[in-house]
Copies of this chain bind each other. A is one copy, B any other.
Amino acid sequence: MPRVSQDHLDARRRQILDGARSCFARHGYEGATVRRLEEATKLSRGAIFHHFRDKESLFLALAEDDVLRMTDVVAEQGLVQVMRDLLAAPPGNGDGPADWLGTRLEVSRRLRTDPEFRSRWAERSNQLTVATRERLLRQREAGNLRDDIDVAVLTAFLELVLEGLVSHLAMGLPADDLGPVLDLVEESVRRHRRAG
């Protein structure tokens, strides 16, 4: 019997995640039935749930993917750049980034009412908070950050704006005018200009 290589397992896992993301984006969390997940991933339910315990785990793995990508950007360029990237993403046409964001909103009710789901979700999003705070601390040391407000407050501010942007894009609201808003957000955490 051939030994299944790690590379093969990784590729299979990737195939499931990519198909599932598109399936969630297109049909929403509730609408992503096992049958649709099979179609989207081109794999049997047996294969899918060999890699992921259940639909919830699959969904959380996708959320974790997002967080990992975002923390990379945060470390190099900050959380405002994450927001600029979201703004620059092509509009959703059924299974695009905005549609996936919509699925994230769809689970918000579940996040509130299901403590275990919330704690699994919080674990992941906490990584983004940590990365943002670390980035801001480095910026403060470099003298680029305002120093009259606690870094925890600045972190929470940036995260709140990100949540607003995710919600805004997920609802399909017009976002053409949000570039200058992000400029203002960025400026608000920067070292004060010495106005005179």
Answer yes or no: A78 CB below 8 A from chain B CBs.
no
Minimal beta-carbon separation of A92 from chain B (angstroms)? 7
Q: Is chain A's interface secondary structure helix, strand, loop, or mixed overall?
A: helix
A109 close to B103 (CB less than 8 A)? yes
Closest-by-CB residue of B relative to A180 is B153
When C-beta atoms are compared, the residue in chain B nearest to A148 turns out to be B195
B106 and A171 within 8 A (CB):
no
In the bound assembly, the distance between CA atoms of A79 and B125 in angstroms comes to: 28
Q: Closest chain B residue to A172 by CB distance?
A: B112
| Neighbouring B residues of A159 by C-beta, 8 Å | 164
What is A's interface to B at a CB cutoff of 8 Å?
28, 30, 92, 98-99, 102-103, 105-106, 108-109, 111-113, 118, 122, 149-150, 152-154, 156-157, 159-168, 170-173, 177-178, 180-181, 184-185, 187-188, 192-196
